[in-house]
Amino acid sequence: MRITYASMLVDDQDKALRFYTDTLGFTLKHDIPMSEARWITVVSPQDLEGTELVLEPDGHPAAKPFKDALVADGIPFTAFVVDDVAAEFGRLRGLGVRFTQEPTEMGPVTTAVLDDTCGNLVQIQSGTG
Quick one: how far is CA 102 from the chain centroid? Answer: 16
pLDDT in tens, 60-93: 999 999 999 999 999 999 999 999 999 999 999 9
Q: Which CATH class is domain 5-127?
A: alpha beta
Question: Which residue stretches of the chain have pLDDT < 70?
Answer: 129
> What is the pTM (predicted TM-score) of this model?
0.94
Grouping H, G, I as helix, E, B as strand and the rest as coil, residue 104 is strand
Q: What is the pLDDT of residue 129?
A: 60
